[in-house]
Structure 1
Amino acid sequence: MYNKNTVYIIGHGKTNIDNAITDQFKIFFIGFVIDTLTDEVVDAKASATIEITSEFISSIFIGKTFDSIDVAVEQEIKRRYFGSSQRAIIISYKDAVRKYKEVKEKYYS
């Protein structure tokens, strides 16, 4: 399904204590499949209690690049996602970009 140039990175962040995601998973996370040749997100899924939430979050990230943290992505999340996990999505995104940059530097430089 994914070509050999892709890597899997998970970013995580905390949700509110009264969030259903916290009850089910204890922490919020997003898994990203990233093409190391283009730095493009080719797939993403989030820990969510409702499938449409994960699909919506995926739609924000697929096609974006992970070469650096993009303020426009953060603004898009703030403009489009109004669930209680908004802050956790942003933190997860930034965590994943940081991890991806480490992986890319270590294995793909």
Structure 2
Amino acid sequence: MYKKNTVYVVGHAKTSNDNAITEQFKLFFISFVIDTDLDEVVDVKSTATIDITSEFIKSMFLGQKFDRYYKEIEDEVKRRYFGTSQRAIIVAYKDAVKKYTEVKQRYY
């Protein structure tokens, strides 16, 4: 399904205690499949408890560049996502970008 020029990275963050994600998963995770030639997100999945939430998060990241942290992506999350996991999405995104940067420096 995924080409050989893709990598898989996961970002994680804590969610608030009153969040269903905390009860079910303890932490919030977003997994990204990234095309290393283009530094572009080709697939996204998150540990949301409602399918539409996971799909909405995917829609914000799919096709985005991942070669560095983009404040514009954070701003889009703040402008469009008003669930209790808003901050966790941003933190998980930052964590994943950091991991991807390390992967690119080490292997590519």
TM-score of the superposed pair, with normalisation by structure 2: 0.99
2:59 matched residue in structure 1: 59
CA-CA distance at 1:78 after TM superposition: 0.2
CA distance in 1, matches of 2:22, 2:80: 22
Q: Percent identity?
A: 68
1:88 matched residue in structure 2: 88
Give yes or no for the alignment of 1:75 onto 2:87. Answer: no
1:103 matched residue in structure 2: 103
Cα root mean square deviation, aligned: 0.3
SS at match of 1:18: coil
CA-CA distance at 1:33 after TM superposition: 0.1
CA distance in 2, matches of 1:76, 1:16: 21
Gaps of 5+ in 2: none
Query: 5 Å matches for 1:15-34?
Result: 15-34=15-34
- Alignment size in residue pairs: 108
After TM superposition, which residue ranges in structure 1, 4 or more long, deviate above 2 angstroms?
Answer: none
Give yes or no for the alignment of 1:39 onto 2:39. Answer: yes
Gaps of 5+ in 1: none
